[in-house]
Amino acid sequence: MKIKNLLLVLVALIVFSCTGEKVNKSEFPQVKEELSEQLKVLVQAIPDDKVPRSYPNKDGDYRMAGIRDWTCGFPAGSFWLMYEMTGDEYWKETALENTLKLDGVQYRTTTHDLGFMVFCSYGNAYRLTGNEDYKNVIIQASESLLTRFNPTIGCIRSWDHNQDKWDYPVIVDNMMNLEMLFWASEVTGNPKYREVAVSHADVTLENHFRDDWSSYHVVSYDTITGEPVLKHTHQGLHHESAWGRGQAWGFYGYTMCYRETGDKKYLNAAENIGDYILENLPEDMVSYWDFNDPAIPNTNRDASAAAIMASAFYEL
């Protein structure tokens, strides 16, 4: 397995770096300082009723989104991680301010992205403060997410839009939201959240992946039979292409599922998806936006996909 070879290389690098004083530890405070400065600039740009979604455009303005956007929990999560890294109360206060304005999200039943929205924000808030109010928000969000589960299909519905195209769409991105459900079962002792997460992971594993372990983006199901009827993309190059971030979602998702369950089929899936990714990454390891773009190597990269992949490789 290429992943095992990669891990051996990483272990070797760690061992050799620990035998001498060649590691420049002074670089790490510099990285922390640069992260802090960048995020402080971001904080100053955040209005009360929106969250930053992307980097500044060519005019220097951040791309903002509403607090109901699927990315709304990411800024707060980033601020909580800065607080954890630095211990600076400024980051705790900033994180709290940007978490509490998402309070109403926990009751939403029209989105599958509640893990992104709530677990990144309130999940880190609870982990770092122990405040029971934050735990209750996550449990309520998990309840809301369960309303989107169809037992005939065995999956959580992703989108409600484009109903003329897809009867019951399930996107590979949804693997990321299962982590919140595993957590909810752990803290409440109620197995229902975990059961839904496992069912969703199993059905996705059966229907989303091709023989080479590349992933479809969208699979639409028949609500009567529970069978898949369409396999499409919504953000990739074409229906049979491998959208870069989609591969990352699946890779992280099954790495996480193995962590939460210990089930070797999830480990096998993660290793195989990781192998596919390694075989298709450029030398600098920053993912192409779609691995089947005929313009490769002269095409766009996706740093967000690269970050997700790196996180999964690190854990695996």
Average pLDDT, the chain: 90
pLDDT in tens, 80-95: 999 999 999 999 999 9
Query: b/e per residue, 186-213, with b = 16+ CB within 10 A?
Result: eeeeeeebbebbbbbbbbbbebbbeeeb
pLDDT per position as a tens digit, 228-241 = 999 999 998 899 99
Mean pLDDT confidence for 18-46? 72
Q: Outline where 192-263 has alpha helix (H).
A: 192-207, 244-261
- For residue 109, the model assigns a pLDDT of 97
Q: Report the catalytic residues.
A: 113, 173
Residue 179's pLDDT band (cuts 50, 70, 90): very high
**202 annotated as belonging to a binding site for a ligand:** no
Confirm or deny that 173 is annotated as ligand binding: yes
Say if residue 223 carries a ligand binding annotation: no
Q: What mean pLDDT do residues 154-172 have?
A: 93
Given this model, what pLDDT does residue 33 score?
86
Mean pLDDT within 210-229: 97
List the domains of the chain with CATH numbers. Answer: 34-147 (no CATH), 149-316 (1.50.10.10)
Annotation-wise, does 91 bind a ligand? no
What pLDDT is recorded for position 1?
45
Mean pLDDT of 164-177: 95
Percent of the chain with pLDDT over 90: 77
Contact yes or no for 141/114 (Cβ under 8 A): yes
> Does position 288 have pLDDT exceeding 50, yes or no?
yes
* Residue written as token pair 């992260």: 35
Residue 162: per-residue pLDDT: 80
> Mean pLDDT lowest for which of 56-70, 154-168, 179-193, 201-215?
56-70
Q: Which residue has the higher pLDDT, 250 or 10?
A: 250
Give 168's contacts (C-beta < 8 A, 6+ positions apart): 150, 153, 155, 157, 220, 221, 222, 223
Does 284 belong to an annotated binding site? no
pLDDT for 62: 84
Its pTM stands at: 0.89
